[in-house]
Structure 1
Amino acid sequence: MKRQNRKFEKFDAFELFSAYTSKYSINIQDKDSLKIFLKEIRKSIEGSQKTPITIHGKRIEMLFAYVAGALGSVKLVKQEDAGNLFTANSEIEMPDYRIILNDNEQILVEVKSFNNQDLHKKFELQKKYFNKLKNYADVMNVKLYISVYFRLFNHWVLLPIEAFNDEDTKYTIDFTQAMARSEMYKIGDCMLATTPDIEIRILTDEENAHQLPSDNSNKVLFLPKKTEIFCNGKMLNTELESQLAFYFMRYSSWRESVHDLIIKNNKVYGVRFVYTSEKHDGQLFANLGWRSSMISEFFKTLTIKDDKVIATESFLNPSEFSVQIPDDYAENYNDLPLWIFIQEPNYEPLKKVKI
């Protein structure tokens, strides 16, 4: 999916200027109107810069659009809460996005973020606010979903209101309930697994392999000539498998376990990095994580630095945030085996398992 880039510097800026001058009955062609407008906009932006919750909220809202677009199961993602709205019902609120799925079903999505490490701490949605969103969805005759990003778990859920607990003036749900009842599969999300380990080797050739120093210089020249990627000891020879393996090394839940030199006959031939995860006894594979979580991790590298938001969005295309897995992958690719788990919603009470 590609981002349709608008000339926001021209059209969005003038639309905002037009709305401002209309609201305060200012002549749009008056020379002083621009000065007044820029002064107020500067004040507003400076206020937002000093309000982390505003910046983080906007980043998460934009992140959802990239997640939905990158997963590959939707035709269109459109920001819904933009532009003017003229309505006979004042108790109405536009949700964040309209999404058209590959089967042409349309859904409306309101995006929220929740920052708490307690699995049983409840996310809350005020009924008064939800009802305004629902009024808009009813007028559009489109089903409304709430997408919550549990940021500290790097986990997305997509929930109809039926998934929430009805509590007086609010709807609530905790992380474990949200995970079980999520319908992220509708937009293409799934959990992936493969056989550990994944290893990348950056190698030089015989001509450029240098001896380890015999003196105290501790310096070795190294000229990379090629890379080799392995999964469970098998070298990957196809472009798709190599792309997937590298993507998993960067953005999955697996972590680097080995980082060392490749030395033969006292010469340095390369360096290798090994990524792995815990594999349970008798199990062929280890969990890589959810695709939506990997996309979010990629997005994080572009928008977060030193734990601070440096951007709320990216101008990369959503398709660049993921590697698509073809339907016939299992029949055509053997060296990087993939297990794909598609979760359906479960509303039954979850049983506690003793570990």
Structure 2
Amino acid sequence: MKRMPRDSLKFDPIELFTAVSRSNNYKIEAEADIDDFLDKVGKSLKSSLKNQRLLNGKRVEALFAHVAGALGKCVMVKQEDSGAIFAAGMNVQAPDYSIALSDGTRFLVEVKNCHHGDPKEDYEFRKDYVERLENYARLQGTTVKFAIYFSRIRKWVLLSKESMTEHRNKYTTNFIEGYAKSEMISLGDRMIGTKPNLSIELIAKPEEESKINEDGLASIIIGNVKLYCDGNEIMSESEKHIAFYLIRFGDWTTDDPAAEMDGDRVKAIRYDFYPDVPWEEEQGFAMLGSLSSMVTSAYNEHTVYESKIYALDAGVNPDVFSVHIPDGYKGEQLPLWQFYIQPNMKFKI
């Protein structure tokens, strides 16, 4: 999936000027009006960039488009909540995105960022807010769903209104019930498992000096990289690509690297990645996490540094954040277990 080109500097400023003009009676040829517009925009932008809650929300909103595009089932993801709306007889509000799937399914998505630490803590949607979104969806001949990113748990859920608990003036959900009822499978999300450990070995060029000096330091030039699963070297290029992606963005952890010595020379440096939670060795595999969480981790590398946001969106296509696992994949040295989690609409805590 590729981002369609659009000249934002050409069209967006004039659209913003038009929108602000409606409430300020600006004239196109009035220099004072243009200066006033630029002053208002500058002050608003500076104020917004200091609002961490707003920045987090907008970044997660942009992130969802990449998650949906990277998981493989979407053929189009379009920003919906932009431009003027004229509606007769009802209050409407445009959700964040319009989604079209490869099977012909269409729906709208409103994206939310939830920072709750307790997985049982309720996340609320006011009924009048949901009603406005549903009115818009009804006029578009489709439905609206709610994508919630539980940032502390690093998990996405995709919910219909019917999956939430109805109260007098609101709907509520929480991570546990939301995850059980999540429809992320419709976008292509799944859980990935393989045999521990996953390992990466950095091999020093044999013709280059790599001895340990008096200070206990060695300088090496990497001549080759090898990847392993459960001690078996991965030979296929496609399997290497998948394994490296799982190492980088999966949930497994690693300790300090181990050096393989050839006399007083460093021959290779090896990192072993393994589950940091108990797993059933008898079943032969351990879970690395969901693809949507891995896409999120990849996106974070482009937008977050040392826990601080430095960009709200990434100027690359969603494919950059994904990994291609072919349909019917059968690994030779990299066995994978893929779990498509179906929603259980009757689940209750």
| TM-score using structure 2 length | 0.96
- Output the amino acid matched with 1:71: L
- Once residues 89 and 43 of structure 1 are traced to their aligned partners in structure 2, the CA distance between those partners, rounded to angstroms, is 36
Number of the residue aligned with 2:17 = 17
Number of the residue aligned with 1:341 = 339
- Once residues 336 and 230 of structure 1 are traced to their aligned partners in structure 2, the CA distance between those partners, rounded to angstroms, is 8
Match among 231, 234, 237 for residue 232 of structure 2: 234
- Partner SS state of residue 124, structure 1: strand
Number of the residue aligned with 2:313 = 313
Pairing of 1:124-163 with structure 2 (within 5 A): 124-163=124-163
- Give 1:224 shift: 0.8
Match among 207, 217, 220 for residue 219 of structure 1: 217
- Partner SS state of residue 346, structure 1: coil
Match among 226, 241, 244 for residue 242 of structure 2: 244
- Give 1:33 shift: 2.4
More displaced 10-residue stretch of structure 1: 257-266 or 8-17: 257-266
More displaced 10-residue stretch of structure 1: 237-246 or 202-211: 202-211
Unmatched 5+ residue regions in structure 2?
Answer: none
- Partner SS state of residue 211, structure 1: coil
The C-alpha deviation readout for 1:51-108, integer Å capped at 9, x for no partner, is 1111111001011000000111100000000111111135110000000001111010
- Once residues 76 and 172 of structure 1 are traced to their aligned partners in structure 2, the CA distance between those partners, rounded to angstroms, is 29
- Once residues 341 and 258 of structure 1 are traced to their aligned partners in structure 2, the CA distance between those partners, rounded to angstroms, is 31
- Give 1:258 shift: 4.5
Number of the residue aligned with 1:302 = 302
Number of the residue aligned with 2:92 = 92
- Give 1:183 shift: 0.5
Conservation of the 8 A alpha-carbon contact between 1:61 and 1:111: yes
Pairing of 1:109-128 with structure 2 (within 5 A): 109-128=109-128
The C-alpha deviation readout for 1:254-295, integer Å capped at 9, x for no partner, is 111341212122211121111111431311101010000001
- Output the amino acid matched with 1:283: Q
More displaced 10-residue stretch of structure 1: 93-102 or 22-31: 22-31
Number of the residue aligned with 1:179 = 179
More displaced 10-residue stretch of structure 1: 170-179 or 23-32: 23-32
- Once residues 48 and 56 of structure 2 are traced to their aligned partners in structure 1, the CA distance between those partners, rounded to angstroms, is 11
- Partner SS state of residue 282, structure 2: coil
Pairing of 1:284-303 with structure 2 (within 5 A): 284-303=284-303
- Once residues 98 and 220 of structure 1 are traced to their aligned partners in structure 2, the CA distance between those partners, rounded to angstroms, is 54
- Once residues 149 and 211 of structure 1 are traced to their aligned partners in structure 2, the CA distance between those partners, rounded to angstroms, is 48
Pairing of 1:201-220 with structure 2 (within 5 A): 201-213=201-213, 216-220=214-218
- Once residues 72 and 216 of structure 2 are traced to their aligned partners in structure 1, the CA distance between those partners, rounded to angstroms, is 49
Number of the residue aligned with 1:271 = 269
- Partner SS state of residue 283, structure 2: coil
- Once residues 89 and 318 of structure 1 are traced to their aligned partners in structure 2, the CA distance between those partners, rounded to angstroms, is 39
- Give 1:306 shift: 2.1
Unmatched 5+ residue regions in structure 1?
Answer: none
Matched, 1:37 2:37: yes
**Aligned sequence identity (%):** 34
- Once residues 90 and 344 of structure 1 are traced to their aligned partners in structure 2, the CA distance between those partners, rounded to angstroms, is 35
Number of the residue aligned with 1:257 = 255
CA distance 1:223–1:303, change in 2 (3 Å): same
Number of the residue aligned with 1:192 = 192
Conservation of the 8 A alpha-carbon contact between 1:209 and 1:269: no
- Once residues 293 and 345 of structure 1 are traced to their aligned partners in structure 2, the CA distance between those partners, rounded to angstroms, is 18
Conservation of the 8 A alpha-carbon contact between 2:254 and 2:274: yes
Number of the residue aligned with 2:65 = 65
Conservation of the 8 A alpha-carbon contact between 2:181 and 2:347: no
Aligned residues: 347
The C-alpha deviation readout for 1:104-151, integer Å capped at 9, x for no partner, is 110100011111111210111100100000000111110110111111
- Output the amino acid matched with 2:128: K
- Give 1:154 shift: 0.5
